Amino acid sequence: MIQRRFNFIRSFSGSSVPVQGPSTTPSTTNIVQCNHKIQQLTQFGRVAEACQVFNSMCQRDPISWNSMISGFTQYGLLHEAQAFFNAFQGKNVRTWTILLSGYAKHGMLDKARMVFESMPERNVVSWNAMISGYIQNGHLKQARELFDQMPERNIASWNSMITGYCHSGIMSVARELFDQMKERSCVSWMAVISGYVAINDFLEAWTVSLMMLRSGMVPDQGLFVVVLSAAIGLNKFRLVESLRTTSTKMGYEGHVFVGTSILNAYSRNGSLDHAVKFFETMPERNDYSWTTMIAVLSQCGRLDDAISLYDRATEKGVATRTAMMTAYAQHGKLSKARQIFDEIPNPNVVTWNAMVAAYAQNGMLEEAKTMFSRIPLRNSASWAAMISGLVQSGQSTEALKLFAELHRSGTSINHSSFTSALFACANAGDEGIGQQIHSLTIKTRCHSNSFIGNGLISMYAKCKNIEDTSQDFSIMRVTDCASRNPVIRGLSDFHILQEARKVFDNMPIRDVVSWTAIISAYEQAGQVDTALKLFLEMLAIGMKPNALTVTSVLSACGCHGATRLGEQIHVLIHKLGLNSYLFLCNALLTMYFKCGSLDGLRIFEKMPDRDIVTWNAVLAGCAQNGLGKEAVRIFEQMQANGVSPNEISFLGILCACSHAGLVENGWLYFNSMEQDYAITPSVHHYTCMVDLLGRVGRLNDAASLVENMPLEPDSAIWKALLGACSIHRDNKLGQKVAEKLLKMGKQRSGTYVLLSNMYASQGMWEKVQEIRELMKHRGVTKEPAVSWVQIKNKVHYFQIGDKRHDEIEEINSKLKDLYRNFKATGYVPDTNFVLHDVEEEQKQDELLHHSEKLAVVYGIMRTPSGSPIQILKNLRICGDCHSFMKFVSQINQRKIIIRDGNRFHHFQDGFCSCGDHW
């Protein structure tokens, strides 16, 4: 439309505009007034009217021409600007510089350089204009070449180059130039300090801030806020307090802009009480002040306080409403969030984006997609919110399709979208698309951003391209916390834990993400002792864990059976205000169940919000702990609440039925999968049913189910059937199943051991020897049975016939005493579980020294009378030890909890929770 309004101007092209007017010469005052009018009109985009004023002037001076050329360049009308430039006979250095700047501003660098080279004379402003053009368009090399050629420079010259390097993250060169400056302005300090903040090098940002304050430079409000950002990044409360005092001396604290930044600093440093107190004393508050306070209260789990503050807000602007909407969404209250959204008469794009993110982050992707499609005018953040939501929900392929659509739309791609797309490639293992996105980041000059660099590292690491991972890490200009943390995760994914630890140990500054990454690495590698030790070190130095850290540690506690530490972390969760995070509550109840503690049920009953993960976790927990009837009750409650079970839900309930011998319930749920929920049973569901039938001795039914299932049976299902054959001593069927497993080429020792046990139970010692020779020939080794018990924060390990424990003689003596007492009350050792060709007395002696028996006796010796004893074992408990534990629980009046390789056994008053379906 603007273009059409200026068609008449094109007549100037190729012709001269008369400089001399009529014979009557207007006064200088009239020229000045007209020039002022032209400048006003062009400033507000009314260029057509400015042209009319210009054409009506009888005489014009250089200011008239320069004002018009400047007006054209400002709005991209470069053809018209060039026409006026050509027509103007009295060009001066300013005229040339205006045209040069116009071409440079709109990315036409070749034309800008042509103008620059054609200038009859240049001043420092001309040089600065050309350099700024190069910098604004990402051509740092050409800008630096020109900078080095300058005959003279002013502060603006230095500031342009320094700002260019800072925006590109090349802080070493920016700092080198900065140190060479003889005179610095607020812009100089702002560029360098904000540059360091941008790459998260907060320590250097603070160092430069101190240099500035000591030099006598008085920062303006904007620069003061950047200095505050450096203090926030260092997570040093005393620095924030010091800057607050400084702001008072400078008279800034009363300014809402600075006050809100101080409020944000308190909030970011975790000083919630100080933030609340400061907010209440602020002389002036704006929409952002209310927004900040509502957001931080929500993030700290104080939703009720956030709601109360929202209700107090005198004017609820769009930003304040958006903050409250986001707070509700963070706590899973989507209906409340949507209610606020619907109350906003004219939601802006930020509000639309927040609602998209709210749905996406809560797994409601269809709602997020609908909201995304309704956004009147999307910006780059809209796309980023939707792409990020898809990635977080595990829909990496969909995320990459949407990213491709974003690229085709012509909308600029922000750093968040690039980062999410790279993580999508990492999750999908698609290095090819990842490399294309890598190329696109280079073309758009985004690759030097630390977050995108981290995404590249993660992508190449997860795609098992360690060479490119190392290369990306080595070329990153600043290897800060943000860049090292993905390397730790990537190396741990490669199981190169030692290298990951080196990266962690060499970090000059570690943030909570660094600690979380290394703790998670050790936890995932099964080295839970080290993971827990690192967590305690983290707490000892005063570093506050976040929800993800705690989740990893809870997982480690569950794997290690560290109930007491898990209970302490439970208390810590409440102290840190993290108890409102649903995923953390899910991890907490899972930890309790994995530790054999029925407090998992208590956590479940008290949870105000539940998702499908919650229901699945409690079903799995009940299955692990032999709570079959509880699992059935909860599954029925789940259905009554309108929550549709998924494949994992059915695995949990079928496993629970299996461990409790609930055959009828098991068949009912198995058949319900397809009939009621259109879920086709997988091989894992069939395995649960085979295990269920096998545990109750219905071996023929189990074998028939395997033979007639529509899927190809895997090794797990045959192993379940083999285990049942071993327990119920069906050697004929067991040998057939074992042979199938051996033909499948599986190198795990379990199959060989079970088959050897069957032969041994029949006295077929030659066959036993054949199996042992076969294992030796194939390089298969039997995993030794290990049991461990935690006494006073120390873990004690035992193996069969252990001689290494410091108190083994006392343990053996106590064990023999118990053995004699139990035999007197009816306990009969089941020597069928000693699979060696030896005398009966020797068999009983070997049974006596099984690892779990040693562990339980040590627990009796070193824990208070009547207190429960928890034992963990890496392999399945044998039948004799199972009987022995029932006698211990009855005669010694102890609750014994044993977690073996399959499940938990809760022994109390002579009974086991498994109902002897072990």
Kindly list the domain boundaries of the chain, sorted by start residue.
383-478, 687-694+702-783, 786-912
Find out whether 262 and 243 touch, Cβ atoms under 8 Å.
yes
pLDDT at 292: 76
Looking at per-residue pLDDT, the higher value among 471 and 299 belongs to 299
Q: Which two tokens stand for residue 476?
A: 């990153």
The angle that helices 318-330 and 303-312 make with each other, rounded to 10 degrees, is 160
**What is the per-residue pLDDT for 622?**
92
Q: How far apart are CA 742 and CA 516, in angstroms?
A: 42
Residue of 59 and 267 predicted with greater confidence: 59
Question: Is 481's pLDDT higher than 60?
Answer: no
Q: How many CB atoms lie within 10 A of CB 616?
A: 22
Q: What is the pLDDT of residue 228?
A: 73
Q: Which pLDDT value is given to residue 25?
A: 41
Residue 841 has pLDDT above 80, yes or no: no
Higher-pLDDT residue of 908 and 237 is: 908
Higher pLDDT, residue 62 or 314: 62
Q: Which of 26-40, 560-574, 751-765 has the highest mean pLDDT?
A: 560-574
Mean pLDDT of 642-658: 91
Higher per-residue pLDDT: 849 or 833? 849
Q: What is the pLDDT of residue 9?
A: 40
pLDDT band for position 619 (cuts 50, 70, 90): very high
Identity (one letter) of the amino acid at 850? H
Residue 306 pLDDT > 60, yes or no? yes
Q: What is the Cα–Cα distance from 408 to 548, expressed in whole angstroms?
A: 36
CA distance 16 to 83: 9
pLDDT over threshold 60, residue 778: yes
Tokens of 610: 């539940």
Q: Region 824-848: what's the mean pLDDT?
A: 57
The pLDDT value given to residue 272:
66
Q: Is the pTM of this model over 0.75?
A: no
pLDDT at 425 over 80: yes
pLDDT of 379 higher than 80: yes
pLDDT of residue 835: 46
* pLDDT confidence of residue 245: 62
What is residue 466's predicted lDDT score, i.e. its pLDDT? 52
pLDDT at position 350 over 70:
yes
pLDDT (tens digit per residue) in 127-149: 988 988 888 887 888 889 889 99
* Percent share of the chain, pLDDT over 70: 82
Strand partners, 534: none
Sheet (strand 794-799) strand order = 794-799, 786-791, 869-873, 896-899, 904-908, 911-912
* Predicted pLDDT of residue 474: 47
**CA–CA distances in Å: residue 585 to residues 106, 647, 904:** 53, 22, 22
- Give yes or no for residue 858 having a pLDDT over 70: yes
List 790's β-bridge partners, or say none: 795
Query: Looking at the predicted structure, is the pLDDT value of residue 689 above 90?
Result: yes
**What is the per-residue pLDDT for 81?**
87
Contact by Cβ (8 Å): 513, 538: no
Residues in the chain: 918
Closest CA to 887 of 911, 868, 913: 911
pLDDT surpassing 90 at residue 195: no
832 DSSP assignment = G
All residues at 6 or more sequence positions from 530 whose CB lies less than 8 Å from its CB, including other chains = 522
| Mean pLDDT along residues 74-103 | 87
Mean of pLDDT over the chain = 80
pLDDT of 14 over the 50 cut: no
Containing 796, the helix (H) or strand (E) segment is strand 794-799
- Mean pLDDT across the stretch 773-791? 82
Instruction: Name the DSSP letter for residue 8.
Output: G
- pLDDT bin (cut points 50, 70, 90) of residue 830 is low
At residue 560, the pLDDT reads 79
pLDDT at 693: 92
